[in-house]
Structure 1
Amino acid sequence: MKSDNQRVKGADLLQIRGLKIEGNSDGVWHPIVKGVDLTLKRGEVLGLIGESGAGKSTIGLAAMGFARPGCRIVDGTINFDGIDLRTASEAEKRKLWGARIAYVAQSAAASFNPAHRLIDQTVETATRDGIMTRDKAVADAVDLYRRLQLPNPETIGGRYPHQVSGGQLQRAMTAMAMSCRPDLIIFDEPTTALDVTTQVEVLAAMRNIVEEFHTAAIYITHDLAVVAQMADRIMVLRHGLEVEEAPTREMLREPKKDYTKTLWAVRKLAKEESISDDVTLSVRNVDASYSGVVKVLDNVTVSLPRGRTVAVVGESGSGKSTLARAITGLLPPSKGEILFNGKPLSKALKDRDKDTLRRIQMIYQSADTSLNPKQTIRDIIGRPLEFYHGIKGAARDRRVAELLDSIELNESYIDRLPTELSGGQKQRISIARALAAEPEIIICDEVTSALDQIVQEEILTLLMKLQKDTNVSYLFITHDIATVRAISDEIVVMHRGKVVQQGPKTQVLNPPYPAYTELLLSSVPQMDPDWLTNLLASRAQAKVKA
C-alpha cells in the first residue's frame, strides 16, 4: 500500500490512446468503442456520462486492462503508471486488480459471494496479498464502514450479503474497493441503488476518501447531478466515441456540442394527476417482520386505485420493498389484512391460486439478476404465457412478438439472450414478461434506477402508455423524486416501517412539508457542483444550532 506522500497529486496515472473495443453478437464482431483517448491524473476524478450503449462501462473496465466476455480490445494503448496493460500478462494484471486498481460495480448483489460474510470479502485482497494482517485489515474495514455511514459498523461485517439492503451492500462494496487504498478506482454507477438521503452521505464519504488518499477515480454514471458533485472533469460519450470533454464547471455552464445540450435538457415527464375511488388493492394496518423479531412494517395502510399509480418513497430500510414482499405473499403479514378487489388476499404465496398469482406481477430493480442469462427472450416472455394461459407453440411465438411490439422492440429480438441487450432493453423485456400474465397490478421495484436519463424517460413513457391501454395499476417503489413527479397519481412516504405521509401528488410535493418529506426533497441532487458542499454545510450548521 502506498503512503499518501508517495501519491503525487497531479502526476499522470492513466493514459489511454486510440482505444478500440469490439463486441460479439451472433458470431459477428462489431465496434463498441471506436477510438477513445483518455488521461487521468493522480487524485483526479473523471466523470464518464452518456446514454445506455455509449461505451462508458466498457471503457471503465478497459482502464483495468480487462474486457468482459464477448468483448475484445483490438487497438490502442492502456498505460497505467508506466505499465502497459495491453501487453501485461494475466498474472501481472491480477497483482494490480484489487490492490492498485479497484472496481465498484453497479450491481453489488451480483458481485458479492453469497456464501461468505461481508467482512471476509472486504479484507480478502489486503490479507491475501500481505498488505495487512487480518486484525489490522478488519479494524480498517470497520473504519471504512463507519466512514461510509453503514449501520452498526462494528458488527455489520458479520452478516451475509442477503442480510443487508441493496444500498448497504453497495457501500460495503465501496469499502472493499478502498481496503487496499488503490491508486485508481472505477466507480460504475455506485449510487444507483441508494435512496436520496443515503446517497448524500455516501457521495460525501466517497469524495472525502478519494481526496484524503489522493486516489484517482473514473466515475461512470447516468445521473448528471451526481457527477457534478464528484468529478473534476467530465467526458461525454455517445456510440463509442467522445463527444466532448471539459472541466466540470465549464461543461455544466456551457456545453459545446448539441448532443451534450440535449442531455442537459432532459426533463422527466409530467403526468397529469388522476384520483379514483375504485380501489383494486387495500393494505390495512399491516405489520410484518423477519424471523418474528424485527418489525419492518408497522401498522401500514395503503390503497391502490384501479388504473392509477401510487409511488412509495423513503430511504433504505424504510420498508418499501418489504411492503412489496407482503403484498406478493413472500413475507406474510403478522397483523392486518390485504384486500384484492374487495376480498381478503391469502397472506402466504403458497396459499394463493394461480389466477391470483397471475393478476399481481412484479418487475424487479435489476434486470441483470432477474432475467435468466441462459434463456432466450422467446423463453423468458413465453414462460408466463404457457404457465398462466396454456399458450404454446406457434401461438405462443405470435403473442411474444406482439408483446415485443408493445414494448417497442421488434421480432428480431426473440432469439437473443439477455447478455446481448442494453440495460434499457433488458428492463423492457422484464416489463413484457409481467404483461404476458395480463395482470391487474404490477409492482415496480426501482425499475428505472439503473438506467440513464434518456432511457428512464423512454421506460416511464412506455409504462404510462401501457397503463392507458390496459388500465393496469402500478405500485411504484422508488427513491427517485423526479420519477415520482413524472409517473405518480398518489404518493406514500415511508420512514422506519411507518407511513408518515400519503395523498395526491400535488399535496405531498408542495409545502408545507412534514419534516421527513422535507428531508427527502432537500436531498435530491442539483446540477450545481457546489450543491453537496452547501447542503452538508447547512445541515452541520443546523445541528450546531439545535
Structure 2
Amino acid sequence: MNAGNMIEVRGLRVVAGAAPDPVVEIVKGVDFSVKKGEVLALIGESGSGKTTIALSLLGYARAGCSISGGSVRIGEVDVLSLDQAGRRALRARKVAYVAQSASAAFNPARTIMDQVIEPALLHRLMTRDVACKKAIALFRSLALPTPETIGERYPHQVSGGQLQRLMAAMALITDPAVVVFDEPTTALDVTTQIEVLAAFKRVIRELGTTAVYVSHDLAVVAQMADRVVVLNGGLVKENGEIAQVLDAPVDAYTRQLLAASRHPDAPADARPATSAAVPPLLEIRGLSAGYGRIDRTTGLPAARILDDVSLSIPRGSTLGVIGESGSGKTTLARVIAGLLGRARGEVLFNGEPLPAELSQRTHEQYRQIQIVFQNADTALNPSHTIADILGRPLAFYHRLRGAAARKRMLELLDLVKLPASIAERNPAGLSGGQKQRVNFARALAAEPALILCDEVTSALDTVVGAAILDLLGELRRELGVSYMFISHDISTVRAICDDVIVLYAGHRVEAGQRDVLAAPPYHPYTGLLVNSVPALRPGWLDARCSVSSAALPPLSASDDSPELCSFRARCPVRIEGKCNATAPSLRRLESGAEILCHHSSEELDRLQRLEVIPA
C-alpha cells in the first residue's frame, strides 16, 4: 500500500445472489485510492454501485449481496480479511458511516446525546463525561443551535438538517480515520442543504478527516471533494481531480452526467393562446388552510399552514410552487386535490366553484385533478402488479376491463416510455425512475386536465430526474395537460414552468412569470432560494458562506402579528420601524412580479446586485 494512502481499493467485486441461483455482478473490479486528509466523491446514477462500494469500506455487504473478490485496505488494516468481530471493531472506531436518512437512523425513544456518544462508550474509548464534552464541542463545530443543551432533546424535536448534522457528530465522536457520507443531503431542501454541507466541510477541514462522499449531484460534489470517481453499471468510468472532471471530462458518461446537472435554459413559453373570456383552468382566491380545531372567533385552524394565498393556472400551462420544507407547498396541493379542507377562500375549476371536500365533488371533478406524490415507493401498492395498479383507475374512471383495459394500459406504459414487459412485475422490481413513471401513468389513466406534481424528482438521481422533466414536457405538448409543479429547486422550476409562486411560512411572498427569477430584483426570500442552488464550480460554497456570514441588522421586538412579514426574522435587509410594525403591501416590480415587501424595486435591485442581500 502506498504510504500516503489512507484507503486503497483494488479489484473490488460484489455480487447479488448465491449459487445455485443466478448470480449478478453489481461491482465489477473497481480500483481507487484516497490519500490521508483527502475527500473522494463516488458519483453516478442509482444502481451504479456507489453505495455498495462505500459500504465495502466497512467490510459490509447488504442483504442478498456478498463481496466476492478484491481487496480493501484502511490504513494498515486489510478489511476483507477480518472476521466478524474484527469488522465490528473496525466500524465506528476506524471507519464511520453517515447515512442518507438520519430520521430513520435515530431511535425516537432515546435522547440525542445518548445516541451520539454510544459509539465512544461501546468501544470503551472514553468515559461518559468526556464523551459528552466532546459531543458538545462537535455540536458547536457543526453549527448546531444551543450546543450545550440540544443533546437533551429527542430526535423528533429537531429539524431534518439538524438531525443530519447530529448524525455526523455521532460518526466523528470516535475520531475515525475515515468517514463515509452516503447522500447525506439528498432529502434536504436547498437552503438547509447549504448549511449542512458548510458544516460538514468545516469539520472535515478542522479534523483533517479522510472522507468518501457518495452523491449523484455533481454540483454538491464540486463543493466537497478533491477527487471524483465516476461510476456506471459497477464500473469506474472516470477517476480524476475535481477540476479536471468538471472542465475536461474524458468519458462520454461523465459528459452525460454534466449535461443533466446543468439545468437547461427555460424553454419558450409553451402555453396555448387563450381568450380573456376563457377562465383559468384553476383559480384560487385568498386561501387559508391548516390543521387542528377551528377557532370560533377567527374561523381559522389552530395550526395555520396557508394564509391568504392566491394563484391561477391557465389551461395548458405549468405553475411552479417553490419554498423550503414547511412553507405550505404540499398542504396547497392537498387542498386542491380535496384531501384537506379549507378555512377561507375560493377554489374555482373551469370557472366553477370546487367543493372543499372530496366526497362532495362530482366524478368528473375527481377525474380531472390528479396528484403524483414525491415518494413512489409508498404511493404504489407493493403487492400489486403494474397492470393491476394501472387497471384500477381505468375501471373506476372509464369502466374499462378485459382486453380494452389491457390495450389502454399498454398505451399508458408506452406514453411514459416504459416497456410492456414490466406490466406483470411488482413495484419492488423497478428502479426509482421507473416507479415514478408508473405514478405518472396512473395519473394519466384518468385523462386529467390538471396534475399536481409534489416534489416528483427530489428523490431521483440527476439523470433520471432530467428524464422525468423531459417526459412532463412531452406529455404537456401531446395531451395539453396542465401542471402544478411543487419543488424546492428553483432551477428545476425555471426549466419547465411558465409561472412561479414563492411560498414562505404559508404566505405567497412572490408571484410572476418564470423569467422574474433569472436576475434581480426579487423578494429577499426568493433571492435566498436562487442563491442556494450549488454552482458547478469548486469554491462556490466557500464564497457563498463568506457572503452570508454577516450579522443581521438589529430589529426591535414586535407584536406577534400574522399580518407582518413572515420572513422578517431571517431577512438581511429588514427595516427597523417598518418590518416589525407594519404589514408589507403588495408591490409590483418592473419585471411584472408581485412581491410582499417594504423595499422598492430599485432598492432591491441595488442591494441584490451588490450582494448586500446574501444567500
Normalised to the residue count of structure 1, the TM-score between the two structures is 0.86
**Residue 338 to residue 449, structure 1, CA distance change in 2 (3 Å):** same
Matched, 1:268 2:285: no
**Residue 504 to residue 413, structure 1, CA distance change in 2 (3 Å):** same
Q: Report if the CA contact (8 A) 2:450-2:481 is conserved.
A: yes
What is aligned with 1:22?
Answer: 15
What is aligned with 1:7?
Answer: none
Comparing 233-242 and 319-328, the one that deviates more = 319-328
**How many Å apart are 1:41 and its aligned residue?**
3.3
Letter in 2 for 1:254: A
For the pair shown, the structure with the greater C-alpha radius of gyration is 2
Distance in structure 2 (CA, Å) of the matches to 1:29 and 1:450: 29
Comparing 25-34 and 304-313, the one that deviates more = 25-34
What is aligned with 1:6?
Answer: none
Q: Report if the CA contact (8 A) 1:148-1:201 is conserved.
A: no
Q: Report if the CA contact (8 A) 2:161-2:196 is conserved.
A: no
What is aligned with 2:248?
Answer: 254
Q: How far does the alpha carbon of each residue in 1:132-183 deviate from its partner, in whole angstroms, 9 at most, with x for none?
A: 677776776676666556677756974565x776556545544554454543
**Residue 314 to residue 21, structure 1, CA distance change in 2 (3 Å):** same
Comparing 177-186 and 477-486, the one that deviates more = 177-186
Matches within 5 A, 1:20-169: 20-23=13-16, 28-108=22-102, 111=105, 122=116, 125-126=119-120, 154=149, 158=153, 161=156
What is aligned with 1:215?
Answer: 209
**How many Å apart are 1:314 and its aligned residue?**
1.8
SS in 1 for 2:371: strand
Q: Report if the CA contact (8 A) 1:198-1:316 is conserved.
A: no
Matched, 1:444 2:464: no
**How many Å apart are 1:28 and its aligned residue?**
3.3
**Residue 257 to residue 325, structure 1, CA distance change in 2 (3 Å):** same
The partner residue of 1:484 within 493, 499, 503 is 493
Distance in structure 2 (CA, Å) of the matches to 1:462 and 1:243: 27
SS in 1 for 2:424: coil
Letter in 2 for 1:13: M
Distance in structure 2 (CA, Å) of the matches to 1:75 and 1:166: 38
What is aligned with 2:577?
Answer: none
**How many Å apart are 1:217 and its aligned residue?**
1.9
What is aligned with 2:465?
Answer: 456
Q: Report if the CA contact (8 A) 1:102-1:178 is conserved.
A: yes
Q: How far does the alpha carbon of each residue in 1:368-414 deviate from its partner, in whole angstroms, 9 at most, with x for none?
A: 44334444333333343345445445544443322221111101122
Q: Report if the CA contact (8 A) 1:193-1:449 is conserved.
A: yes
What is aligned with 1:186?
Answer: 180
Matched, 1:367 2:363: no
**Residue 486 to residue 27, structure 1, CA distance change in 2 (3 Å):** farther
What is aligned with 2:566?
Answer: none
Report the RMSD for the aligned CA atoms in angstroms.
3.4
SS in 1 for 2:236: strand
Q: Report if the CA contact (8 A) 1:229-1:531 is conserved.
A: yes
Letter in 2 for 1:62: S
Distance in structure 1 (CA, Å) of the matches to 2:447 and 2:122: 52
Comparing 122-131 and 310-319, the one that deviates more = 122-131
The partner residue of 2:195 within 197, 201, 205 is 201
Q: Report if the CA contact (8 A) 1:21-1:73 is conserved.
A: yes
Q: Report if the CA contact (8 A) 1:165-1:316 is conserved.
A: no
**How many Å apart are 1:204 and its aligned residue?**
0.4
Structure of greater relative contact order (alpha carbons < 8 Å, 6+ residues apart): 1
SS in 1 for 2:211: strand
Matched, 1:238 2:232: yes
Matches within 5 A, 1:268-307: 268-269=263-264, 270-275=266-271, 278-291=279-292, 292-307=301-316
Comparing 503-512 and 486-495, the one that deviates more = 503-512
Distance in structure 1 (CA, Å) of the matches to 2:221 and 2:439: 28
Distance in structure 1 (CA, Å) of the matches to 2:253 and 2:357: 50
What is aligned with 1:408?
Answer: 417
Distance in structure 1 (CA, Å) of the matches to 2:365 and 2:111: 37
**Residue 303 to residue 148, structure 1, CA distance change in 2 (3 Å):** farther
Distance in structure 2 (CA, Å) of the matches to 1:342 and 1:28: 59
Unaligned runs of 5+ in 2: 293-300, 554-611
Q: How far does the alpha carbon of each residue in 1:43-63 deviate from its partner, in whole angstroms, 9 at most, with x for none?
A: 321111223332222212222
**How many Å apart are 1:348 and its aligned residue?**
4.4
SS in 1 for 2:205: helix
SS in 2 for 1:533: helix
Q: How far does the alpha carbon of each residue in 1:45-89 deviate from its partner, in whole angstroms, 9 at most, with x for none?
A: 111122333222221222222222343322212223444333434
Distance in structure 1 (CA, Å) of the matches to 2:183 and 2:65: 20
Q: Report if the CA contact (8 A) 1:282-1:301 is conserved.
A: yes
Q: Report if the CA contact (8 A) 1:424-1:455 is conserved.
A: yes
Q: Report if the CA contact (8 A) 2:111-2:153 is conserved.
A: yes
Comparing 397-406 and 535-544, the one that deviates more = 535-544
**How many Å apart are 1:227 and its aligned residue?**
0.5
Distance in structure 1 (CA, Å) of the matches to 2:174 and 2:507: 40
SS in 2 for 1:64: coil
What is aligned with 2:334?
Answer: 325
Distance in structure 1 (CA, Å) of the matches to 2:161 and 2:519: 28
Distance in structure 1 (CA, Å) of the matches to 2:322 and 2:9: 41
Letter in 1 for 2:208: H
Q: How far does the alpha carbon of each residue in 1:406-454 deviate from its partner, in whole angstroms, 9 at most, with x for none?
A: 1111011223333433332222222223223333322212222233332
**How many Å apart are 1:302 and its aligned residue?**
2.0
Unaligned runs of 5+ in 1: 1-9
| Number of residue pairs the alignment of both structures matches | 536
Q: How far does the alpha carbon of each residue in 1:90-130 deviate from its partner, in whole angstroms, 9 at most, with x for none?
A: 44434444454333333456555677776665555455555
Distance in structure 2 (CA, Å) of the matches to 1:159 and 1:333: 32
Comparing 295-304 and 494-503, the one that deviates more = 295-304
SS in 2 for 1:28: coil
**How many Å apart are 1:459 and its aligned residue?**
1.0
Matched, 1:522 2:531: yes
Distance in structure 1 (CA, Å) of the matches to 2:458 and 2:159: 15
**Residue 121 to residue 325, structure 1, CA distance change in 2 (3 Å):** farther
What is aligned with 1:425?
Answer: 434
What is aligned with 2:576?
Answer: none
Distance in structure 2 (CA, Å) of the matches to 1:375 and 1:112: 31
Distance in structure 2 (CA, Å) of the matches to 1:355 and 1:168: 44
**Residue 198 to residue 326, structure 1, CA distance change in 2 (3 Å):** same
Distance in structure 1 (CA, Å) of the matches to 2:247 and 2:71: 32
**Residue 15 to residue 379, structure 1, CA distance change in 2 (3 Å):** farther
Q: Report if the CA contact (8 A) 1:194-1:479 is conserved.
A: no
What is aligned with 2:509?
Answer: 500
